[in-house]
């Protein structure tokens, strides 16, 4: 299951970088996003929310990518739990960002912002659901006998073992 938690790491690094850059540019930038944030909401809260959660996603994924290959199951469960919580928070923040981009009437944002926000929201939903599954498998309190039987059946079918 360690491989199953690692395949999301490049995507988590990407969404962390995007979120961190949106937080910084909304707070101190000079473009459409900054004008929109300053007109419709509190730029400091925007910078802290997007920048903080983006940094958590970026650094959480980077630490596991660099040093997590040989972690034990409890350590991996802790890392995946933190990454899952960060993705959950990011989903909520991106919902607000999408709302802000579509409802704000004071400034018309650039087309790329309207595309980036929902795509990053969908990526964060994917990261959240993937990490939630990995958490379930790694957590000893979750019953995974049906899931394990399904995985083993798929493996037997893939290698051509009829039993």
Note the pLDDT of residue 46: 85
Query: Exposure pattern of 130-158 as b/e (b: 16+ CB <10 Å)?
Result: bbebbbebbeeeeebeeeeeeeeeeeeee
Note the pLDDT of residue 3: 53
pTM value is: 0.81
| Band (119; pLDDT cuts 50, 70, 90) | very high
Which of 88, 119, 114 is closest to 99 using CA atoms? 114
The string of pLDDT tens digits covering residues 121-151 is: 999 999 999 898 888 888 888 877 777 777 7
Pair 50, 95: CB distance under 8 Å: no
How far is 28 from 35, CA to CA, in rounded Å?
10
How far is 76 from 35, CA to CA, in rounded Å?
41
The string of pLDDT tens digits covering residues 38-91 is: 777 678 888 888 999 999 999 999 999 999 888 888 898 999 999 999 999 999
How far is 37 from 34, CA to CA, in rounded Å?
5
């Amino acid at each position: 299951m360690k491989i199953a938690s690692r395949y999301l790491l490049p995507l988590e690094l990407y969404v962390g970088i995007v979120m961190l850059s949106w937080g910084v540019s909304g707070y101190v930038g000079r473009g459409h996003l900054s004008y929109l944030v300053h007109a419709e909401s509190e730029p400091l809260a925007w910078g802290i929310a997007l920048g903080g959660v983006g940094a958590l996603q970026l650094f959480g994924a980077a630490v596991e990518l660099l040093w997590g290959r040989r972690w034990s199951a409890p350590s991996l469960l802790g890392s995946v739990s933190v990454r899952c919580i960060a993705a959950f928070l990011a989903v909520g923040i991106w919902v607000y960002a999408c709302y802000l981009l579509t409802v704000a009437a004071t400034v018309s944002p650039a087309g790329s912002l309207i595309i980036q926000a929902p795509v990053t929201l969908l990526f964060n939903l994917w990261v959240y659901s993937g990490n939630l599954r990995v958490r379930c498998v790694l957590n000893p309190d979750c019953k995974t006998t049906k899931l394990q039987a399904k995985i083993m059946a798929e493996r037997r079918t893939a290698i051509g073992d009829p039993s």
